[in-house]
Amino acid sequence: MNLFKKLFKQTAIYGLATVLPRMLSFLLLPFHTDILATADYGQLSVIYAWFAIFNVFLAYGMETAFFRFYNGSENRKKVVSTSLISILVSTMVFMVMALLLQNGISELSHIDPNYLRYAIFILTLDALVIIPFAWLRANEKPMRYAVVKILNVAINLGLNVFFLYFLPKMAASNPDGILSGLYKENFQISYIFIANLLASATTLLLMLKLYLRTKFVFDRELWNKMLKYALPVLVAGVAFTVNEVFDRILLERLLPENVADSEVGMYSACYKLALFMTLFATAFRLGVEPFFFSHSNTENPQKAYAQITNYFVVLGSIILLGVVVFADVLKILFVRDTKYWEAMDIVPIIILASFFLGIYHNLSVWYKVTDRTKFGAYISLIGAILTIIINLVFIPHFGYMASAVATLTAYGCMMMLSFIFGRMYYPIPYNFRKITFYLLISIVFSILSFYVFDRNLFFGVPLLILFLGMVYKLENDNLRKIFLKK
């Protein structure tokens, strides 16, 4: 159990590194939705969807490959050096080519050329810190990882508040002042990207140490092996990103032009209320991924993997029901403009989809530790195909509800496929009855609270308390062993 105590401790710190920055970022949701019109927020959401897609291509699976070869290598310095050189060269090539071809990229992506230049430099800066952050995780330095991540978003948040709130007031009260020269009308989206750019530049400066102290030696044979391992991860990453963000792009293109940006804005704002599940799943994945690799050669690792998944489902079920029960409270806190509330019906669907994705990441241990990463690519591609087909067919008829259902269908299918293939190639003794029990009860209670009782807290809160009582009754002994055992 001490092993699990260490895992949960690291997950808690990675959770801090993930949750606090995202929560700081989450504060921008009411800030942006108060200042930006739904159409402007929709345009911003589409641009960040393209960000996510390009981020995957710039990483091209090297982060996961770094973990795989760093943990199993006798010469870790060579793995670090080769990885850094690979990312550095590919990123510089991207930056130069993107700047040269920016007009064509702008036409293809429908991104304003002025915004595109910011995007290119932000993507470049973010790509250069991929391996330094992976090195921190591989060397179990979660506190430094957390500090840098939190500082990044604190700078971003602070600059957003300054540019969008204080600067206009300063310029209006003192038109001849020094700061008034920084202010431009109708420049809000550019200000958001400038804040992001400065935060990313600061992060790179803080992470330069690994570049400066590394003796650069490029091992072509090692790089070929890493690339062979990484390419299926890239395919899976692209497919996953399609599942995650491509719906915004399709909504913008398939809905009538006069409502498209506004619909995307409402959908994206309410989608962010699922962030609590995303934060939990991401923190858990960051803590557990190095654990999967470092313990793959221990005695009976499958038993540990099964227990980890059980705990994930228990905690995830609580978060699912908790967010659904208090959805109306959360919308008042974080999406204050009532124009965005039209899309609230997507919230339970997206939270459940994020839960399925988190379970999928836990189940995916089998193809990562057995070097069958191509299966991750196949599964993610199937999910992406489902996402694209459902969106293309049903968006013209059902709008953003089609996108929400497509996300749930894709992640549910990916979860089941990973479970089925895992039983064939790397059997893990999951407690299937317990997992199914928690999933079904939390889903049924969520449906009752949100759709049947219409988000009435007098019905929802008792359902949540009842569920927590079940968890306490069934899991109290196991959790006490993990957290109280010396």
**Structure confidence by residue, pLDDT tens digits, 76-117:** 888 899 999 999 999 999 999 999 999 898 888 888 888 999
pLDDT of 203 over the 60 cut: yes
Q: Is the full-model pTM beyond 0.95?
A: no
Q: Residue 8: what pLDDT?
A: 59
Q: Residue 16: what pLDDT?
A: 63
Q: Which residue has the higher pLDDT, 255 or 232?
A: 255
pLDDT digits (tens, 9 = 90+) for 342-379: 889 999 999 999 999 999 988 888 887 777 878 888 89
pLDDT of 485 over the 60 cut: no
- Residue 22: pLDDT band (50, 70, 90) is low
pLDDT of 481 over the 90 cut: no
pLDDT of 484 over the 80 cut: no
Supply the Cα-derived Rg of the chain in whole angstroms. 23
Cβ atoms of 116 and 105 closer than 8 Å:
yes
Q: Residue 289: what pLDDT?
A: 67
- Residue 15: pLDDT band (50, 70, 90) is low
Q: Residue 32: what pLDDT?
A: 86
pLDDT of 230 over the 80 cut: yes
